[in-house]
Amino acid sequence: MNAIDMTITSLLARYRAGELNPRGLIDTLLADADARGKDAAWITRLSREQLEPYLERLDSADPQSLPLYGIPFAIKDNIDLAQVPTTSGCPAYAYTPDKSAFVVRQLIEAGAIPLGKTNLDQFATGLVGERAPDIYGVPGNAFDGERIPGGSSSGSAVTTAQGQVSFALGTDTAGSGRVPACFNNLFGVKPTLGLLSTAGVVPACATLDTISLFALSADDANVVLSVAGQYDSDCAWSRRHDFAVAGQTYGEAPRRFCFGVPPKSQWHTDDAYTAGMHRTIADLESLGGIKVELDCTQLLAAARLLYEGPWVAERYHAVRELIENRPDALHPVTRQVIEGGGKPRAVDAFDARYKLAEYKRQADALLAQVDVMLAPTTVEHPTKAAVAAEPIAVNSRLGTWTNFMNLLDYSALAVPTGFTDAGLPFGVTLFGPAFDDLTLLSLGRALERRLALPRGATGVARAPLPVLPEARDGTLELVVCGAHLDGLLLNHQLTGRGAVKIATGRSSANYRLYALAGGPPARPAMVRDDTNGAAIAVEVWRLPIDTVGSFLAGIPAPLGLGQVELENGEWKCGFICAAGVLEQGGPATDVTRFGGWRGWLASQQ
């Protein structure tokens, strides 16, 4: 294990300062691999000769020009890398692709260097990391070789945690990118379905699969996600989403937020993980979070559909020819799980789909009550011996809080938040609706700053995090001062668009308030006056940004939206009056002395 700080942030800084170059780093990593010898975390490690084309390309590149210049990464061996066998953990299934998976190509074009293909639970079926054939072996956990590494992306998690690479690709259908992240002290990004193309990925359940990301920090995860998350017009499952256009950015978490937590009776965690949950709840509260306990019965019911329902038929479909003609080629436990997929009938699939639709309706209503949800990533960290004794039962318990995410189309992030008394990593999962990925990463970064845990299993301390601009979550905070106030005649134009009131306060003392002629309803005009202004009572409402256009279209002249200064010095979008209207003698009554619109309305009674 090398002692280099392998974060993307650190390596890029050293490259750009001329302190390091990609060839020197790769030579160090290869020497470290040779000293380690056979390593069950890898199925295929690239040789120096195989890595030369990637290094040669970087020889003439400017380190400033590529966001992943010279950054080494690993690829789970159910994701294609050109001219390198893809095995999916099964030698009888192996093939050698002519081109890399879409996501892998994006990363390489951004300057990243693939070091090889990592071990996994065969056909990505498992959360334990113990379901690989003997020819490959199974990795030990990065902190304790007698504990499971977590799966199915076991090798990707272990190699990242040990500092062999800066980040790694996994896949996540039922928790395969989050459980091993938890067990190895990593950030584990389970992106919104379709955000990362699955072209060039061996399917487990094609409708539920996503590539996942393992990273040593939230900033690193954000960089990789921004590079990898490009729309792929050739992938049937790819979904187009532009975070910037949607008003979403990564950055400093809000100072106040509501987070939902299932009641303790639903955690199903052992003593060590229960204690970890309590600590993390306290940490979120210290960051400004307001805990809201929410019954998660529907989420847990949806989770059970994944393996107890007909979705296992998708796994059967993916390996149908092999399991029907060469069943002995599969790992015994993998075969036992997938064989059940040949039994469901078409009517069973529709029955389950109808149940899922109802669960999602209820679950979406639950999530709408808070800004983010918190849950244990998993419920315990078993030993290898415990998994060997009960391979399916233990695996099932580990998926308690992971299996429902893709079924319900949620984004999720596994965040490391501490260690148990036994010295093993503990972490939680933050989750929310589709395309909340950057919101989750921003809050995960706030936890990272507060906790300052070592990076993975490398022992490298975390450097202080720089201050970033405030994150944006795809909403617009709108200052209202008149008929749109809570309970007044036009407030329905906000609530009907899903807006929520987040504050009641006043503007800075730089405004005058006028009642314009006409109506009903009567309309205000708030005009900036730095000389004779006063503070005006206002409310701040949070409006989904994709509804702002229709809201704006309904605002009559001379009113419009601009920037309004609040008494705390912040500027937010709010109602303003077109310049020159009052100066031109427009019919309006100065009502500033009433302190706000409600005060003036009361005077008219």
Which residues are annotated as catalytic?
76, 152, 176
| E-strand stretches of 21-162 | 42-45, 72-76, 113-118
Name the 3-class secondary structure at 443.
helix
- Given a contact cutoff of 8 angstroms between Cβ atoms, the answer to whether 156 and 172 are in contact is no
| Rounded-to-integer distance, Cα 122 and Cα 88, Å | 6
Name the packing angle between helices 218-228 and 437-451 (round to 10°): 160
Give the C-alpha separation, 103 to 105, whole Å.
Answer: 5
Q: Is the peptide bond before 558 cis (omega within 30 degrees of 0)?
A: yes
**How far is Cα 110 from Cα 115, in angstroms, rounded to an integer?**
15
Of 121, 254, 167, 215, which Cα lies nearest the Cα of 416? 215
The encoded tokens of residue 176 equal: 């395969």
Tell me if 273 sits within 8 A of 183, measured CB to CB. Answer: no
Half-sphere exposure of 75 (CA within 13 A, CB side): 31
Rounded to whole angstroms, the Cα distance separating 489 from 134 reads 71
Is the separation of the CB atoms in 479 and 564 below 8 Å? yes
User: Helix, strand, coil % (nearest 5) of the chain?
Assistant: 35, 20, 45
Q: Is 259 helix (H, G, I), strand (E, B) or coil?
A: strand
Q: Is the dihedral of CA 26, 32, 37, 38 positive or negative?
A: negative
CA-based nearest residue to 504, from 522, 485, 527? 485
Bridge-partner residues for 547, per DSSP? none
Phi, psi of 415 (to 5 degrees): -125, 125
Place of tokens 């966001």: 67
Alpha carbons 227 and 208: distance in angstroms, whole number: 22
Distance, CA of 210 to CA of 188 (rounded, Å)? 12
Tokens describing residue 3? 């002692």
Alpha carbons within 13 A on the beta-carbon side of 253: 30
Give buried/exposed letters for 174-212 (b at 16+ CB in 10 A, else e). Answer: bbbbbbbbbbbbbbbbbbbbbbbbbbbbbbbbbebbbbb
Alpha-carbon distance of 376 to 263, in angstroms, equals 12
Residue type, 508: S
Residue in 305, 430, 413 with CA at minimum distance from that of residue 367: 430
Other beta carbons within 10 angstroms of residue 129's beta carbon come to 33
List the structure tokens of 159. Answer: 């190699």
